[in-house]
Amino acid sequence: MTTVVLALVSALFYGLSDFVGGIASRRTSAWAVAVVGNAASAVGATVLALVAAGSPTTTDLAWGLFAGIGGGMGTGFLYRGFATGRMSVVAPVSAVGAAVIPVLAGVVSGERPSLVVWAGIAVALPGIWLVSSSPEHPATEMGPAAGRSGLPEGLVDAILAGIGFGLLFAALGQVPARAGLWPVVASQAVSVPAVIVLALVVGGSWVPRGKPVRLGVLTGLLGVGATATFLLSTQHGFLTVAAVLASLYPATTVLLAWLVLREHIHRSQAVGLALCALAIVLVAGG
């Protein structure tokens, strides 16, 4: 049960962080928001690590660094997707990759959840996908609807973000409890140059400018809370369970987009939210 609670807290923090990051990314460069957010996360993680006991090995820190590369990739592409597409489309699509990759990693490493938990995982994946569904004529929604290819705006960025977050979750799942939170510090620290390199590769502006970019500080503090609770959740139970529950973060983002931005929750999205709730019950009960 500890794993379930911590993973759901992680999902809540991730959802809040993504919502704030999405708002900021529509007002300034998404890459700049990601740089500020990850820098703030590194500072916050250091403070937490100094308070918590831990003796990480070189291998533990190496997993943290690898997680940071995935996290930087995920954050950068997620915010760029938010800047061009609907928040209630980009966030859920990214969550599919964030769930599938660590689940596969957990199975390969020998985890064997119960049949009830597997049922919850099976329900969660289509639930996340349905939450990501968009209307046939999304031009009436806030933000652009579709690119010239006919695909929803931000979809490619969402897929790339999902791969990045999946690598983040899978790597953090390899860190033992004795390591404390120093691998999270390593993760957040390396995510800053990772975002900058990606921004340079795709031609994005990563230098922080203007007041909106300050929201990146809040996204970073929420993000480090999410990452830390996710790490703790994996140390109390299966990575497969923690990753799927933490990947339900789009539910928070979608609900906030509905309440604050007036983005509509369509019938298929409502069904997806219901399936996500059922997944939580099944995983917790298993």
Chain segment 31-73, per-residue pLDDT in tens? 888 889 989 999 999 999 998 878 899 999 999 999 999 988 8
What is the per-residue burial (b if ≥16 Cβ within 10 Å, else e) of 192-208?
bebbbebbeeeebebeb
Measured distance CA(243)–CA(231) in Å, rounded: 10
Residue 266 CB neighbours (<10 A): 18
Outline where DSSP puts E strands in the chain.
none
Contact between 192 and 142 under an 8 Å Cβ cutoff? The reply is: no
Instruction: For residue 149, name the pLDDT band (cuts at 50, 70, 90).
Output: very low
As to burial, measured by CB atoms within 10 angstroms (0-12 exposed, 13-18 middle, 19+ buried), residue 108 is exposed
| Mean pLDDT, rounded, for 144-155 | 54
pLDDT in tens, 213-266: 888 899 999 999 999 999 999 998 889 889 888 888 877 777 777 887 777 777
Pair of tokens at residue 68? 């940071």
The percent of residues in the chain predicted with pLDDT above 90, rounded, is 26
The percent of residues in the chain predicted with pLDDT above 70, rounded, is 90
Is the pLDDT at 124 greater than 90? The verdict is no
Contact between 38 and 275 under an 8 Å Cβ cutoff? The reply is: no
87 against 136, higher pLDDT: 87
Number of H helices, E strands in the chain: 11, 0
Is the pLDDT at 86 greater than 60? The verdict is yes
175 against 94, higher pLDDT: 175
- Which residue, 190, 244, 246, is CA-closest to 45? 190
Measured distance CA(209)–CA(35) in Å, rounded: 11
| Mean pLDDT, rounded, for 5-27 | 87
Measured distance CA(54)–CA(26) in Å, rounded: 39
Q: What is the dihedral of CA 266, 272, 277, 282, to 10 degrees?
A: 160
